[in-house]
Amino acid sequence: MQTPICLSTLGSETLRYISDVDSLTTTDEVLDNLNLIANETCQINVLGALMLPLHHGDWESLEKGKTVFLHKSVPRGWWEEHMELSRAHPGFGMSFALLSLAPFTMSELMRALEPLAADRWPFEVALKHGMRDRLNCPVGGRWLISYWSRSVMSMRLNEGARAILFMAATFAAIRLQKLLGPQVVRIGKGAMLTPRELAVLRLLSLGNQVSEIARLLDLGEETIRSHVKKAQAKLGVRTQAHAVAQALRRRLIP
C-alpha cells in the first residue's frame, strides 16, 4: 500500500533542493537529488531531462548525454526501444510538451486524445518496461523534466503535489542549463526545413497546385518548385508526394 503524500514534507524538501541546487556540479547530481525527493515523498522516480527541439518534429536532435539525460532508475532498454520506434512513427507526447505550459501525465493524455493503435506505442513501450505513467513538466519551452511511476499518477498526485514537483523540475532545468552552457545546440543532425518550405508543403498537403501556391504566397512558380526540391533533399525523398507524406509523418506540418 502506498504512503499518502505529505505536502508539507514535499514542500520543505523541495525548498532545500532549490537552495542547494547551485552547488550541484554534474547532470547526474541534479537528477539524483531530485529523484531522492520524488521517491521519498511521492514514491515516484525521476525519468530524466531533455532539451526540447528548436523545431517541431526535429526529434533527431535528441541525443543521449548531450540533449537527453536519463536517470539511473529508468528501466534498461526503454530509451533505445523508444527512440527506434519514434524514428518510424513520432509520438504525440513530445509534440504536446512543446505546446504545453503545465505538467501533464501520460495517462491523462491518453484519455483525452484517445489515440489509435499506431499512436499508442509510447504508452505501450513504457508499460512493457514497467513504467505505468509519467508526469511531464515542460519548462520554459526549452526543457522537459519527467517523473515516472509503476502506478497511475493522476490517482495520487493532487494539484498541490504537482505544483511542488513542477517547481522542483523548474529549478533542476535552470541548473542543467547553467551546467551545459550555451555551447549545447538543439538543432538536429540534418538540415531543417525553412518556414517557407514548410508553408509550401502545408499548402500541397491541402491539395493546392503549384500555381495556386504561388498565388497564395505571392511568389513565382519556379520559386515554389525550388522550395519543394530543397524540401525533398532535406527529407531524403524523391517525389513531391513523398515529401508531403514525410512532413506529415514527422509532424513538421499539421
pLDDT in tens, 151-181: 999 888 999 999 999 999 999 999 999 998 8
Please tell me the distance from the alpha carbon of residue 112 to that of residue 250, in angstroms, as a whole number: 22
CB environment 134-151: b (16+ within 10 A), e (fewer): bbbbbbeeebbbbbbbee
Q: Dump pLDDT digits (tens) for 188-210.
A: 344 578 888 888 998 999 899 99
Question: What is the model's pLDDT at position 254?
Answer: 65
pLDDT in tens, 103-152: 999 999 888 888 777 788 899 999 999 999 999 999 987 899 999 999 99
For residues 53 and 67, give the distance between their C-alpha atoms in angstroms, rounded to a whole number. Answer: 9
pLDDT at 228: 94
Q: What is the mean pLDDT of the chain?
A: 87
- The model's confidence at residue 89, banded by pLDDT at 50, 70 and 90, is confident
pLDDT tens profile 60-83 = 678 899 899 999 999 999 999 998
Helix (H, G, I), strand (E, B) or coil at 108: helix
Three-state DSSP at 66 gives coil
Q: Which amino acid is at 31?
A: L
So where are the chain's domains? 7-180, 195-249
pTM tops 0.85: no
Superfamily of domain 7-180: Transcription factor LuxR-like, autoinducer-binding domain (3.30.450.80)
Output the CA torsion sign for 205, 211, 215, 218. Answer: positive
Higher pLDDT, 132 or 252: 132
pLDDT at 188: 39
Cα separation, 127 vs 159, whole angstroms: 25
Please tell me the predicted confidence (pLDDT) of residue 234: 86
Q: What is the pLDDT of residue 198?
A: 87
Q: What is the structure's pLDDT at 59?
A: 66
Q: Residue 1's pLDDT band (boundaries 50, 70, 90)?
A: low
Percentage of the chain modeled with pLDDT above 90: 59
What's the confidence (pLDDT) of residue 240? Answer: 92
Q: What proportion of the chain, given as a percentage, has pLDDT over 70?
A: 91
- Please give the class, per CATH, of domain 195-249: mainly alpha
Residues near 142 by beta carbon (within 8 Å), at least 6 away in sequence = 51, 52, 173, 177
- Candidates 231, 160, 229; CA nearest to 195 is 231
For Cα atoms 86, 181, 20, give the angle at the middle one, nearest 5 degrees: 100
